[in-house]
Structure 1
Amino acid sequence: MSTAHIFGIRHHGPGSARSLRRALEELQPDLVLVEGPPDADALLPLLAHEEMQLPAALLIYAADEPGRAVYYPFADFSPETVAIRHALSRALPVWFMDLPVSHSLAWEARIQADLQVVGREAGEAPREVSGNTPQQDATDLPLPDSTRLLIRRDPLSALAEAAGFTDGERWWEFLVESRGGNDSSVFEAITEAMKALREEVEAPGPEGAAFSWETHLEECREAHMRQTLRAAQKEGFSRIAVVCGAWHAPALQGGQASTDARLLKTLPKIKVRATWVPWTHGRLARESGYGAGVDSPGWYQHLFGTEGDVLAPWMTRTARLLREEGLDASSASVIEAVRLAGTLATLRGQALPGLQDVTEAARAVFCWDSDLPMRLIHERLVVGETLGRVPQDTPAVPLAQHLAAEQKRLRLKPEALARDLDLDLRKDTDLERSALLHRLHLLGVAWGEERRVSGARGTFREAWRLQWHPEFALRLIEASLWGQTVGEAAEACAAERARHEEKLPKLTALLDQVILAALPGAARLVLRQLSGEAANASDVTHLMQALPPLARVMRYGDVRGTDSAQAGEVFRTLLVRACIGLPPACASLDDDAAGEMRTHLGEVHAAVTLLQHEEHTASWTDALHSLATLSGGHGLIHGRATRLLLDLGELNPADVEVRLKQALAGVNPPSRVAAWLEGFLEGSGLVLVHDARLLGLIDDWLVGLSGDAFQEVLPLLRRTFTRFPAPERRTLGERIRSGEVRALHTRAEELDAERAALVLPVVAQLLGLEVMA
């Protein structure tokens, strides 16, 4: 006689896993059925492979649209893992029994299409909802009862509330995890509790209750599980172990085969593919996007993997972590924390300490009055960032296989924790590492984040921060349509982007990327596209934004063996056109537009000075002279152009003093003067540190302002001067306070009687006065 033994478990629960392992050893089943996707049955043997290191996840995706995918994570402490490995180690058949992903993904796509109809204008003719659902007006789909839906999604929280707990996580830990996981009879109690809860939820609702897509899909899932169980019984298996989520356990007992068959008959279906991908403990957390997550995977891994006393090893790991970070944590503290956690558990009536007891004990003993050590403990131990590994013969797209080979060849191991990597581009291996990281960026796989290094960007050094995320596996699958290797895929992707991009700044940024990624074919294509767009571009800001990336290509192209001649010609064309159009573009700007233009001026100036090309510098200098004296121009632009000319050596201090006096003249409103000073002094106040006369002029102007005018310009001046480095601000303040600046300024302004006598006759004649001999 065939008997099904149903074990309702909690996904990723170490207590459930321990109890299940004991129950399976007692039952000795001849078939194991596990809630999971049958699309991945062929991949189950890999879970027992010696190279498999959990956590890992089954990734199942639509063959024609890889972006539509589902993850099924597994950890060592997952009851599903225990069940599958029990069967594999004994050469027993093991099947997944949940609704195939080929159906659920197609069903979700149908829901998306149907919900687009919900927003149609009222009065449209009714329609029939796809699938085995009632006919109703698409504009009249009220939300399902929120309470019932919430209980279905998180039944543990509902039971926890009834038991007086604040959340389902803590309730389940008290009920199951803290029991040590050696009592197989707990499954009967779980099933009974879920049965009562389901009866409450599934009681008849108000007449005309709304149809719920989510509930209907759940019914299909449970119908498929029952059908799988019936098929196993027909094949003659006598002791069948069924491992499923606790919520589904009562639903697998009974049901009509004909009803289930009709329910499943009309389900849509698409073609899917499956593989294993590395996962992390952090992604097992509740907020990781997987509905059956847990808050403390690191703690659960410790519970499952530690026999006997779990407190002392945990507190020892805590102390070791804190000492590695330079924090005080002695052996005596470990002993005290263990005692305190045990006492807290006793006071709460628990057989074993739970995470709450352990956390409170660690906070009291190790953390003193700071939460920072507790955050470290939570991130590194309670959650953890362990990264799994899958066997080499796991099915994967060629692009992912090539990347794995490149990672091994270049000794770049993917890790869940962030680590820094410094590259010297004069070394062949480091140059190839840089190219690989930049190519992955083009493909949307941001494994590395480039960091700033001292000195100019793009020299022989690069600094990266590497951190591997599990979702990169899906992005590699999506990117595989571009090519079979990382280089081929990145080049094809860049070429396609170049063909459809018309904005100069984005084209030049793309050129910079493909140069760094060592993709000469794509670089030539981008340059051709860039040349064509440059001939037609008229927006001055776009021309200016396009120049800095081109300058980097020209300046540092030789480091990567790139021919930058064509880029140089494009740069010259864009710069000339930008310089011609710059004065008209800067006329009549408001404050926001002037601020943006000032930023562009600084970027183009840096690009021109980077190249040190005589022709480019001459064109740029002429444009700056035009801006500095532009009639009707914004004060911010005038001041910035004047400062850039001073930096280029085109103006001497005396010239700057004349222009500053003109800017400070009383005919100019205080706000315009403040804007001029902001543009002139942006970034550094050294020009005032070294020139007391300029500082004195500004000091005199500021002292002479009225109260209202001072209040008007104060925010602008504060913003300007607070951006100076602290040593510069301190030096300026000391000079003003000492009176040194005023003394120097006064001496500089002393009257020259001989020079004054030369203009007196002219002044007298203008005033109609008699000229005295």
Structure 2
Amino acid sequence: MSSERVHIFGIRHHGPGSARSLERALEALQPDCLLIEGPPDAEEVLALAVHAEMEPPVALLVYVPDEPRRAAFYPFAGFSPEWRAIRYGLQQGVPTRFMDLPQWHQLAGEAENEGEPSEETSGKSGDEETAVVGGDAADNSPSAAEPIFRRDPLGLLAEAAGFSDGERWWDYLIESRRGNCTEVFTAVREAMTALRDDAPAMDDLRELRREAYMRKTLRAALKEGFERIAVVCGAWHAPALDPARLPPAAHDSSVLAGLKKVKTAAAWSPWTYDRLASGSGYGAGVVSPAWYELLWSDEQDVAVHWLTRVAQVMRSSDLDASPAHVIEAVRLAESLAAMRERPLPGLEELDEAALSVLCNGQQGPMALVRRRLIIGDRLGAIPAEAPMAPLQRDLLALQKRLRLPATSEIKKYDLDLRKPNDLARSCLLHRLNLLDVPWGDSDRGGRGGKGTFHEYWQVQWAPELAVKLIEASRYGNTIEAAATARVKQACDDAATLAELTELLAHALLAELPLAVKSLVAAIQRRASVASDVPQLMAALPALARTMRYGNVRQTDATLVGDVIRGVVERICIGLPSACHSLNDDAAGDLFTLTIEVGAALDILSDEGMLAAWYDSQRSITEQSGVHPLLRGRAVRTLHDAGRLEADQLHRVLALELSPAVARTAAAAWIEGFLRSSGLVLIHDLTLWNAVNAWVASLSGEAFTEVLPLLRRTFATFETAERRQMGERVKRGGPSTAAGGAVEPAASGFNYERAAQVLPLLAKLLGREAPP
């Protein structure tokens, strides 16, 4: 095979120095065929790379249409050598082809893969490509006994040159160089050849197949008669494609024999610098995409430009960063580079200078710089006519209409549901969550509140959401239709009534009337035959939220009213019996459900349902055999609702805390009555005195027995509440005057000093001063 016809350019994926040298080399060579390490599956969409609206970083997405989770990304930045080669070939009209092992073979072996889509280099960066720049622990887990040239093939060269690892050495030698030396590719190929000759034979079948397919593609191009074939591949693969070292074609055919095949599709997807960084776990990632972008821009005085950006980031966060700081930081970076015998400051020197001068040695501001500048927050864009699923097009149109752009930055929105546009935004985000496309998160959206007219969202677009959208396309061609179909499927699959009611709440938030109708019918059928009281109680809170948000969103939620009334009726009838003969764990579960049901009924504010609920609680207090924890909660419910007179409460307390009652049962009753309610105990003197008298009556042995239970109850009180109780006990407890009022001396309250404030307070309130 003629070596004069084949010109191999071994590059580092996403390297600006490699890209600059490659462009000059291609311009000098003027090839008549261009072979690039990449997926042949995507050649049909390759022409879009030169579209005016294509803005890197972008990625080629190759996936199995029937199972979109089986997918692979091939990211490109503006400074990626493969991206520059693709654009050169298309602009010059040169036949441009991908030559890596097609994903229709690679994905065929991943039928059982349930993980996230893999992130490829421009042609699957395996551990070899990663190893060219120092290896990556996210992709490899080499044993300590494994030869160093397999873990980090450039590590020895880097150590000899005074660098800490192969990544920094490669960056200094190749990527940060200011010249456009094309001879570097010859040197790289010779270095890789020497390393591979000393390395043990490769036993990775996937990598062997990849290189065999690359050689197969190269042979096909030579057979077509091309005279100047440019091959752009990862530096590690360069020796394997050298015409002087190629094995027989039969050898490669035997390696490729038996490969399975699946149907694949390809599309372009926006990408982010965050996912291009090595910190994201991407095997072929770079330390700082933003730094490489600056190097690619060919700006002079890159140190000045970079540190000026650092200062801008700090100022935007109200941190001090003056021009004098920038000047001093530049001087320090240049001095560090000179001490290390480097012609120009690199990212390591600039990072140290920024930390020392601009951040005053503090890691907090430096973390901000690293997050916002070193990685960068750029999100690419693809042309509107690029191939995409109908669901993706619908989302794109909705984002434009609702002025809700997809960005890689974290954005927070305070949506006022009384405004049509904000309401539509909320519905879109809820529908996407139902489709398992979590673009927005309302739980982390910011401050909360009791108002029902506001929702707080935190949104951030991630590249893998494109795959989730494609996967969701099987439910429908629009977001609304797909979400409706997804909810109906979940309705059919729901195992419990609580799951159905929770799903109904989400469907109502997403304004899916057809899905709501199906869910209501399913809930009615399930509730009409349900005899499990805890299951009915677990279902009620979601139904109450449904009614609440139905009113806020101007959605007719009254159709669930009959369901709620039926569920509440069944709960109130069956709860007293369900409270009998329970162990502590079962009673604790039912206690939690009781609190949730009470809160749900408070939301509904229906007098008829509340009356039935209170009757049910009174029945619990009057029956024997009920767990004392639940009986204590029932008394508390009636007490809070004003359904117990003072003398009735006193009799109940005296009965439940009498010496005749087992100490553990009395402690459980107190827990049920007082859990998370320290203020009740502080301000209700009747209750305080009753509890105090009961505790004082215990012997030392009995007190030791009930102390763990009492501590469990009092641990639910706020710190300030416990402090007030401690101060009251220290004073010996409150005494009561006539009528139950606390005497001034006992309360420690200074009425004379308080009286001095009253005239001013009355003036502020516009009231007549008290005598």
Q: TM-score, normalised by structure 1?
A: 0.85
> SS at the partner of 2:61?
strand
1:343 CA drift (Å):
2.0
1:268-289 CA-partner distances (Å, limit 9, x unpaired): 2111000011111111133545
1:485-504 CA-partner distances (Å, limit 9, x unpaired): 01111111111111222310
The answer to whether the 8 Å contact 2:176/2:295 transfers is: no
Matched, 1:71 2:69: no
The answer to whether the 8 Å contact 1:693/1:745 transfers is: no
**Residue of 214, 225, 230 corresponding to 2:214:** 225
The answer to whether the 8 Å contact 2:56/2:380 transfers is: yes
The amino acid across from 1:238 in the alignment is E
The answer to whether the 8 Å contact 1:179/1:352 transfers is: no
Q: State the alpha-carbon separation in 1 of the partners of residues 564 and 272 from structure 2.
A: 46
> SS at the partner of 1:92?
coil
Residue of structure 2 in register with 1:200 after alignment? 198
**Residue of 323, 346, 351 corresponding to 2:338:** 346
Q: State the alpha-carbon separation in 2 of the partners of residues 3 and 244 from structure 1.
A: 16
> SS at the partner of 1:421?
strand
Taking the TM superposition and a 5 Å limit, the aligned residue runs for 1:671-682 are: 672-682=665-675
> Cα distance 1:666–1:104, how it changes in 2: closer, same or farther (>3 A)?
same
Residue of structure 1 in register with 2:169 after alignment? 171
Q: State the alpha-carbon separation in 2 of the partners of residues 361 and 346 from structure 1.
A: 13
1:674 CA drift (Å):
4.4
Matched, 1:234 2:223: yes
Taking the TM superposition and a 5 Å limit, the aligned residue runs for 1:472-621 are: 472-621=465-614
Taking the TM superposition and a 5 Å limit, the aligned residue runs for 1:641-720 are: 641-668=634-661, 672-702=665-695, 717=710, 720=713
1:737 CA drift (Å):
4.7
The answer to whether the 8 Å contact 2:142/2:151 transfers is: no
Q: State the alpha-carbon separation in 2 of the partners of residues 669 and 696 from structure 1.
A: 20
User: Greater CA deviation, 590-599 or 159-168?
Assistant: 159-168
1:128-175 CA-partner distances (Å, limit 9, x unpaired): xxxxxxxxxxxxxxx999966996686455765786755443332233
The answer to whether the 8 Å contact 1:41/1:95 transfers is: yes
> Cα distance 1:58–1:152, how it changes in 2: closer, same or farther (>3 A)?
farther
User: Greater CA deviation, 723-732 or 537-546?
Assistant: 723-732
Q: TM-score, normalised by structure 2?
A: 0.85
The answer to whether the 8 Å contact 1:178/1:353 transfers is: no
Matched, 1:329 2:327: no
1:34 CA drift (Å):
1.2
Q: State the alpha-carbon separation in 1 of the partners of residues 507 and 520 from structure 2.
A: 11
**Residue of 94, 97, 108 corresponding to 1:95:** 97
> SS at the partner of 1:742?
coil
Residue of structure 1 in register with 2:233 after alignment? 244
> SS at the partner of 1:222?
helix
1:552 CA drift (Å):
1.8
User: Greater CA deviation, 443-452 or 575-584?
Assistant: 575-584
> SS at the partner of 2:71?
strand
Residue of structure 1 in register with 2:359 after alignment? 367
The amino acid across from 1:225 in the alignment is M
Residue of structure 2 in register with 1:438 after alignment? 430
1:322 CA drift (Å):
1.5
Residue of structure 2 in register with 1:274 after alignment? 266
Residue of structure 1 in register with 2:398 after alignment? 406
The amino acid across from 2:473 in the alignment is S
The amino acid across from 1:464 in the alignment is W
1:335-363 CA-partner distances (Å, limit 9, x unpaired): 22222222222222322223222222222
User: Between the two proteins, what is the percent identity of the paired residues?
Assistant: 51
How many residue pairs get aligned? The number is 709
> SS at the partner of 1:386?
coil
The answer to whether the 8 Å contact 2:16/2:176 transfers is: no
The amino acid across from 2:93 in the alignment is A
> Cα distance 1:682–1:746, how it changes in 2: closer, same or farther (>3 A)?
farther
Residue of structure 1 in register with 2:289 after alignment? 297
User: Greater CA deviation, 513-522 or 446-455?
Assistant: 446-455
The answer to whether the 8 Å contact 1:696/1:745 transfers is: no
Q: State the alpha-carbon separation in 2 of the partners of residues 718 and 155 from structure 1.
A: 62
Q: State the alpha-carbon separation in 1 of the partners of residues 654 and 639 from structure 2.
A: 16
> SS at the partner of 1:423?
strand
1:334 CA drift (Å):
1.6
> SS at the partner of 2:442?
strand
1:689 CA drift (Å):
3.6
> Cα distance 1:203–1:91, how it changes in 2: closer, same or farther (>3 A)?
closer
Residue of structure 2 in register with 1:180 after alignment? 178
1:306-325 CA-partner distances (Å, limit 9, x unpaired): 52221112111112212221
1:192 CA drift (Å):
2.0
> SS at the partner of 2:382?
coil
The answer to whether the 8 Å contact 1:178/1:351 transfers is: no
> Cα distance 1:626–1:153, how it changes in 2: closer, same or farther (>3 A)?
farther
The amino acid across from 2:171 in the alignment is E
Residue of structure 2 in register with 1:309 after alignment? 301
> Cα distance 1:235–1:736, how it changes in 2: closer, same or farther (>3 A)?
same
The answer to whether the 8 Å contact 2:159/2:165 transfers is: yes
**Residue of 250, 253, 257 corresponding to 2:249:** 257
> Cα distance 1:302–1:666, how it changes in 2: closer, same or farther (>3 A)?
farther
User: Greater CA deviation, 605-614 or 255-264?
Assistant: 255-264
> Cα distance 1:195–1:634, how it changes in 2: closer, same or farther (>3 A)?
farther
The answer to whether the 8 Å contact 2:568/2:609 transfers is: yes
Q: State the alpha-carbon separation in 2 of the partners of residues 325 and 189 from structure 1.
A: 45
Q: State the alpha-carbon separation in 2 of the partners of residues 745 and 82 from structure 1.
A: 90
The amino acid across from 1:342 in the alignment is E
Q: State the alpha-carbon separation in 2 of the partners of residues 232 and 528 from structure 1.
A: 64
1:292 CA drift (Å):
1.6
| Cα RMSD (Å) | 3.1
User: Greater CA deviation, 195-204 or 406-415?
Assistant: 195-204
The amino acid across from 1:37 in the alignment is P
Taking the TM superposition and a 5 Å limit, the aligned residue runs for 1:51-70 are: 51-70=53-72
1:400 CA drift (Å):
0.4
> Cα distance 1:634–1:446, how it changes in 2: closer, same or farther (>3 A)?
same
Residue of structure 2 in register with 1:9 after alignment? 11
1:220-254 CA-partner distances (Å, limit 9, x unpaired): 11111112222222333322221111111110012
Q: State the alpha-carbon separation in 2 of the partners of residues 149 and 290 from structure 1.
A: 23
> Cα distance 1:569–1:44, how it changes in 2: closer, same or farther (>3 A)?
same
User: Greater CA deviation, 189-198 or 665-674?
Assistant: 665-674
> Cα distance 1:707–1:445, how it changes in 2: closer, same or farther (>3 A)?
farther
The answer to whether the 8 Å contact 1:678/1:720 transfers is: yes
**Residue of 633, 640, 646 corresponding to 1:640:** 633
User: Greater CA deviation, 431-440 or 146-155?
Assistant: 146-155
1:579 CA drift (Å):
2.6
The answer to whether the 8 Å contact 2:70/2:113 transfers is: no
1:93 CA drift (Å):
2.8
The answer to whether the 8 Å contact 1:31/1:241 transfers is: yes
> SS at the partner of 2:74?
strand
Q: State the alpha-carbon separation in 1 of the partners of residues 313 and 646 from structure 2.
A: 58
The answer to whether the 8 Å contact 1:702/1:710 transfers is: yes
User: Greater CA deviation, 683-692 or 400-409?
Assistant: 683-692
**Residue of 384, 389, 407 corresponding to 2:376:** 384
The amino acid across from 1:23 in the alignment is A
Residue of structure 1 in register with 2:137 after alignment? none
Q: State the alpha-carbon separation in 1 of the partners of residues 50 and 572 from structure 2.
A: 67
The amino acid across from 1:578 in the alignment is I
1:520 CA drift (Å):
1.0
Q: State the alpha-carbon separation in 1 of the partners of residues 295 and 718 from structure 2.
A: 52
Q: State the alpha-carbon separation in 1 of the partners of residues 682 and 303 from structure 2.
A: 62
The answer to whether the 8 Å contact 1:179/1:351 transfers is: no
User: Greater CA deviation, 639-648 or 411-420?
Assistant: 639-648
1:542 CA drift (Å):
1.6
Q: State the alpha-carbon separation in 2 of the partners of residues 606 and 219 from structure 1.
A: 64
User: Greater CA deviation, 4-13 or 26-35?
Assistant: 26-35
Q: State the alpha-carbon separation in 1 of the partners of residues 697 and 319 from structure 2.
A: 56
1:596 CA drift (Å):
2.7
> SS at the partner of 1:468?
coil
Q: State the alpha-carbon separation in 2 of the partners of residues 362 and 94 from structure 1.
A: 43
